[in-house]
Structure 1
Amino acid sequence: MVTLASDKEAFIAQYDQSKDNLPGSEITWLADLRAKNIALFDQVGLPTGKTELWKFTNLNPLKKQAFSGPSLQGPASANNNELPRLLAEGASFRLVFIDGSYSADLSDKTLPAGVSVQSLASAIKSGASDLETSIVSRDRAEEQPLVALNTALMTDGNVIDIAKDVSVNLPIEILHMGGGKAEQSYHNRNVVSVGSGSKVTIIENVTDRSDNVYFSNSATEVSVGENATLHHYRVQASNKAAFLVSSTEAVVDKGASYDNFLLNTGARLSRTETNVSLIAENSSCHLNGAYMGTDDQHCDMTTRVDHKSPHTTCDEVIKGVLAGKARGVFQGKIIVHELAQKTVGNQSHRAMLLSDRAEVDAKPELEIFADDVICSHGCTSGQIDEEQLFYLRSRGLSSEQAQSLLVNAFLADAVEAVQNEDLKDLLLVKIADWLEQNPN
């Protein structure tokens, strides 16, 4: 088992050691895909400050750890009653992943008609014919070397297929429970396909059951068919020793909508990258989120929206609150291609700094190659408004109560975009809990 410091060579050694035992090692196209991507990773290496998209996120803390390779033994045991839920029992269809491996025993067995769910390992074993077109190399390997590493080392993940004209009445809740084993790495690959005219909500709950250091490097491919709607929400609340890197690539077809929201309060270092391609007329996306950090946490939210057809729209509202020596990063790029006339693209990032040691880096970008568009972006950061704080304290509130009230109001704007009312209420509770646990 490879437990060297996690530089490029250590991850390549993990691949060399496990390649003959990874799921689908006997399948030619998949073995070739893995080999191609480990070669890409070898060529590019781990991102450094010289990589433009990674200039604000330093992976040196990750490199100093000694992570073992992905587990091939299946999920660890767990008690279903002790596993956390975002929504009440019976209010969602739940899938459970423990230490990167799918647990069929702990996941719901009964799903609505038209909904197919299986683990990536099972889909590979059964020879699912569409995986070869769903799991492909990304075009921007020099910008996404960790996606290439994921493609080489992927062992499990969820494969969700929603048939045509299906409206799923309850959300699909995916629990990712990590930290069962110290210094382990997971490389989950997920595939989500929503058929034309369908509507579904997927909620990911990323958490853990210990304070162990671990590394989760996940990648997700999303396809939203004509006139379909996918609400894709993610709550990250891992321990402050974890390293979380995730990349989502969404393709949105004619008249379809991709609605994405992230609430991030956990991890020592997290980077969540969301790339959306609006490939046909009247397709749209919403990329909203809120992040909160304290101590020496680092949170990076990076987005890219490609408007490739006329009459496409995107709206993006990201808000962050940082205390202690925490650092936040927002990078948002909107690209309007030459054919994408009548595009509307709006982007907003605002950060509130509760400490003079906290730091935020923001890099909003617009690249417009069309004539008839409406696009905007704006970024602001600053400390809490002292006049508002004084006003609330003059009404009898303590400093902590006044600050909590202002932070709640500041973040509520982003949370308001969530369309599931139960989840919206839960997110507001989690924000309040974070403020209570971090009163200073």
Structure 2
Amino acid sequence: MKLIDVGGRNNVIIADGYQEWIIDTLDPLTLDLTCDGVSSVFMNVKRASNLKIKMTVLENAGCTLLIWNNTETKVEFDETYVVEKSSYLNLAYGECNVSDTNRNSKVSLMGAGASAIIKSATLCKSKKISSITCESLAPHTVGNMENYSVVLEDGEYKMDATGKIVKGAYDSRSHQTSRALTFNEKQKATIIPQLLIDENDVEASHATSVGQIDENQMIYLQSRGLTHNQVLSLITVGYLMPIADFIENEELQQILRKEIESKVVESCSI
């Protein structure tokens, strides 16, 4: 496990292979990260108040980064990612904690052939606000975004998801899917999908859904012997569990699956 030293500024060359980092400070922290190989990073955010991440994925490199928010107090994330020629960034956010989150994230596909996959899975019992942008600034780039959330009692979820393709970024693709599941009318969920396209020779799409589970499905599952809370837990786990497999590390996957199940059972039983 690699512990990121806290301080005002950290310049880190990400080593090849799999690694785990812990963020554990309430002081403002800026991480300047550079990936020049092929890396997988699990970033466990235990304590933070203001975390800034600036990452560059250099030419012909690739990074898979899973940011796992375990904070108990409100945290502000400010993130910028640059992906250079023929490189990739796989970026995911997992949030099953009960504290407020405000995230502003921007991924720039700077070089030809650059690609990004951006995913989020959120169990929302507090205020979770995210603005995520993936922009294509060169030809032959690919940006895919998937956001899934389950909003429980007292939860407020807002996702502003933007895909952008500038003039000259021909033969590029920008796709996004965002879904928010609620269980009653008092829960707040807002998704704002945007496609900003300034080039003709591209592919772009978005799919969005916000709403409650089908009442007939609830009745059917309860008729099979499940309690109301068990139904909530089962459906919620189904929404969130895929994020646990984002990094190909079996030990980590098992840990995250157990944590998701535990947090869901705890939240849905209240």
Scaled by the length of structure 2, what TM-score is found? 0.92
Moved >6 Å (runs of 4+) = none
Question: 3-state SS of the aligned residue for 2:251?
Answer: helix
**For the residues of structure 2 that align with 1:303 and 1:420, how far apart are their CA atoms?**
26
Structure with greater proportional helix content: 1
- Which range is displaced more, 387-396 or 368-377? 387-396
Give the one of 165, 168, 180 matched to 1:351. Answer: 180
Give the one of 105, 114, 139 matched to 1:274. Answer: 105
Question: 3-state SS of the aligned residue for 1:427?
Answer: helix
Structure 2: unaligned runs, 5 residues or longer: none
Partner of 2:50: 217
Is 1:425 the counterpart of 2:254? The answer is yes
Contact kept in structure 2, 1:317 and 1:414, CA below 8 Å? no
**For the residues of structure 1 that align with 2:113 and 2:187, how far apart are their CA atoms?**
40
Contact kept in structure 2, 1:246 and 1:273, CA below 8 Å? yes
User: Cα distance, 1:290 vs. partner?
Assistant: 0.6
User: Cα distance, 1:235 vs. partner?
Assistant: 0.7
Is 1:255 the counterpart of 2:86? The answer is yes
User: Cα distance, 1:267 vs. partner?
Assistant: 5.1
**For the residues of structure 1 that align with 2:169 and 2:158, how far apart are their CA atoms?**
29
Give the one of 226, 233, 249 matched to 2:59. Answer: 226
Paired letter, 1:269? D
Per-residue CA deviation, residues 17-61 of structure 1 (Å, 9 max, x unaligned), is xxxxxxxxxxxxxxxxxxxxxxxxxxxxxxxxxxxxxxxxxxxxx
Partner of 2:124: 293
Per-residue CA deviation, residues 381-405 of structure 1 (Å, 9 max, x unaligned), is 1112222222222222222222211
- Which range is displaced more, 260-269 or 336-345? 260-269
Partner of 2:21: 174
Structure 1 pair 326–344 and aligned structure 2 pair: CA distance change class (3 A): same
Paired letter, 1:201? S
Paired letter, 1:202? V
Equivalences, count: 269
User: Cα distance, 1:354 vs. partner?
Assistant: 2.4
Paired letter, 1:282? G
**For the residues of structure 2 that align with 1:386 and 1:416, how far apart are their CA atoms?**
30
Say which one has the larger Rg. Answer: 1
Is 1:199 the counterpart of 2:38? The answer is yes
Question: 3-state SS of the aligned residue for 1:333?
Answer: strand
User: Cα distance, 1:258 vs. partner?
Assistant: 0.5
Q: Percent of counterpart pairs with the same letter?
A: 21
Scaled by the length of structure 1, what TM-score is found? 0.58
**For the residues of structure 2 that align with 1:305 and 1:382, how far apart are their CA atoms?**
25
Structure 1 pair 421–300 and aligned structure 2 pair: CA distance change class (3 A): farther
Structure 1 pair 206–417 and aligned structure 2 pair: CA distance change class (3 A): closer
User: Cα distance, 1:378 vs. partner?
Assistant: 1.8
Paired letter, 2:152? A
Higher relative contact order (CA 8 A, sep 6+): 2
What is the 5 A alignment of 1:314-333? Answer: 314-333=143-162
Partner of 1:190: 31
Structure with greater proportional strand content: 2
- Which range is displaced more, 342-351 or 399-408? 399-408
Structure 1 pair 319–415 and aligned structure 2 pair: CA distance change class (3 A): farther
Is 1:367 the counterpart of 2:188? The answer is no
Contact kept in structure 2, 1:244 and 1:267, CA below 8 Å? no
Question: 3-state SS of the aligned residue for 1:407?
Answer: helix
Contact kept in structure 2, 1:325 and 1:355, CA below 8 Å? no
Contact kept in structure 1, 2:191 and 2:210, CA below 8 Å? no
Paired letter, 2:143? C
User: Cα distance, 1:413 vs. partner?
Assistant: 4.5
User: Cα distance, 1:237 vs. partner?
Assistant: 1.8
Paired letter, 1:342? D
